[in-house]
C-alpha cells in the first residue's frame, strides 16, 4: 500500500492536518481490463466447457481456458463482452488443434464439465447425467465442425454472427451447418426410438411364444391308461387331491376287486 500525504492547509498546524489516505498499490488490483470479475470468470468457464466438450482432459482444458481468458482480457484494442466470448473460443480451438497435432494421447470423451459443483439433489444429478448422455450421442452423430456450431449456437447460445466470428466462417455457413446438424440429430433420435420399439415388440412376442408353447405342451401331454391286469388307473400328474393337496391321485380300486 502507498500513502498520499495531503498538502498543508494555510492556517492549520501540520499536526492537525488530515492523515494520509491509503490507496492500493497497482500489484494489489487485478488487471481485468474492461470486464468485471464475474465477466472474467464467465469467459474462463466458457472456454473450459468448450474444451471439455471437445474431449480434452480436465487439466489441459483448464490451462487452455485460462490462456484464452487472459488473451481476451488483455487484447489490444480492447474487446467488448460478445467479442471476447468468440475470441476465447477461437483461442481454445487453436490450442486443441495444436495439441492434437502433437503425439497422440488418450482423450477422454465420456464426460462434460459440471456447471455447478454444488449439485446435491437427486433431480440435479439425474439432469446432469441426462445432459452428458445427450452430448455423448451428439458427439457420435455429428462431424467436428457440426458439433462446434451446435455447441456454440445451442449450448452457449451465441448468435450466428458470434459463432461465425469464433469459427472463422460466414454466418450463412453457420446456419447451413446448424440445420444439417439438427437434421442428423433428429434422424438419429427417430431411428433409435423405432429400434427400441422393435426390440420391445420382439421381446413381448418371444415371451408370448414361450407361454403358448408351454400351454400347448401341457395340454397335449398324454394320460397314462390302465392296462389289463392293472389294479389301478393313473390320473394326470398334478391333479388336486380331495383334501386340496398337490400330487398324484391315490390308486382307485376296480368294482370287482374285493381285496
Question: How many C-beta neighbours within 10 Å does residue 89 have?
Answer: 27
Q: Select from 179, 159, 161 the least CA-distant residue to 169.
A: 161
Whether residue 78 is found in the same domain as residue 134:
no
pLDDT tens across 218-241, in order? Answer: 666 555 555 565 555 555 555 555
Whether residue 206 is found in the same domain as residue 134:
yes
pLDDT at residue 11 in the model: 57
Supply the CATH number for residue 191's domain: 1.10.10.10
The answer to the question of residue 236 being in a domain is no
The answer to the question of residue 232 being in a domain is no
pLDDT at residue 196 in the model: 84
The parts of the chain modelled with pLDDT lower than 70 are 1-33, 102-121, 124-125, 205, 208-209, 214-259
Whether residue 163 is found in the same domain as residue 86:
no
Helix (H) / strand (E) containing 2? strand 2-4
Whether residue 149 is found in the same domain as residue 206:
yes
Whether residue 143 is found in the same domain as residue 174:
yes
Whether residue 98 is found in the same domain as residue 128:
no
Report the distance separating Cα 90 and Cα 49, nearest Å: 13
Whether residue 148 is found in the same domain as residue 183:
yes
Q: What is the pTM of this model?
A: 0.53
pLDDT at residue 110 in the model: 45
pLDDT at residue 4 in the model: 52
Cross-strand partners of 21? 4
The answer to the question of residue 156 being in a domain is yes
The answer to the question of residue 85 being in a domain is yes
What does the block give as the cell for 117? 459443483
pLDDT at residue 16 in the model: 52
pLDDT at residue 155 in the model: 86
The answer to the question of residue 65 being in a domain is yes
Report the distance separating Cα 44 and Cα 65, nearest Å: 5
Helix (H, G, I), strand (E, B) or coil at 122: helix
Whether residue 138 is found in the same domain as residue 210:
yes
Structural domain that includes position 138 = 124-217
Report the distance separating Cα 26 and Cα 29, nearest Å: 6
Number of domains in the chain: 2
Asked if residue 77 has a cis previous peptide bond (ω within 30° of 0), the answer is: yes
Whether residue 139 is found in the same domain as residue 209:
yes
Amino acid at each position: 500500500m502507498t500513502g498520499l500525504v495531503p498538502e498543508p492547509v494555510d492556517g492549520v498546524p501540520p499536526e492537525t492536518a488530515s492523515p494520509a489516505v491509503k490507496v492500493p498499490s497497482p500489484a494489489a488490483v487485478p488487471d481485468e481490463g474492461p470486464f468485471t470479475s464475474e465477466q472474467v470468470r464467465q469467459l474462463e468457464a466458457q472456454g473450459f466447457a468448450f474444451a471439455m466438450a471437445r474431449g480434452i482432459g480436465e487439466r489441459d482444458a483448464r490451462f487452455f481456458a485460462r490462456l484464452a481468458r487472459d488473451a481476451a482480457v488483455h487484447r489490444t484494442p480492447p474487446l467488448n463482452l460478445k467479442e471476447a466470448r468468440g475470441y476465447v473460443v477461437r483461442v481454445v480451438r487453436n490450442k486443441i488443434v495444436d495439441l492434437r497435432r502433437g503425439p497422440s494421447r488418450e482423450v477422454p470423451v465420456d464426460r462434460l464439465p459440471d456447471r455447478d459443483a454444488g449439485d446435491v439433489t437427486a433431480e440435479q444429478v439425474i439432469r446432469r447425467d441426462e445432459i452428458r448422455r445427450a452430448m455423448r450421442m451428439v458427439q457420435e452423430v455429428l462431424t467436428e465442425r457440426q458439433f462446434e456450431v451446435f455447441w456454440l449456437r445451442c449450448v452457449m447460445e451465441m448468435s450466428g454472427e458470434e459463432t461465425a466470428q469464433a469459427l472463422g466462417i460466414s454466418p450463412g455457413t453457420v446456419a447451413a451447418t446448424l440445420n444439417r446438424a439438427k437434421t442428423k440429430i433428429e434422424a438419429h433420435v427417430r431411428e433409435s426410438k423405432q429400434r427400441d420399439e422393435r426390440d420391445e415388440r420382439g421381446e413381448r412376442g418371444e415371451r408370448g411364444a414361450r407361454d403358448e408353447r408351454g400351454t400347448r405342451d401341457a395340454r397335449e401331454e398324454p394320460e397314462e391308461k390302465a392296462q389289463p391286469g392293472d389294479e389301478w388307473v393313473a390320473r394326470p400328474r398334478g391333479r388336486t387331491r380331495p383334501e386340496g393337496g398337490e400330487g398324484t391321485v391315490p390308486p382307485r380300486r376296480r368294482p370287482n376287486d374285493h381285496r
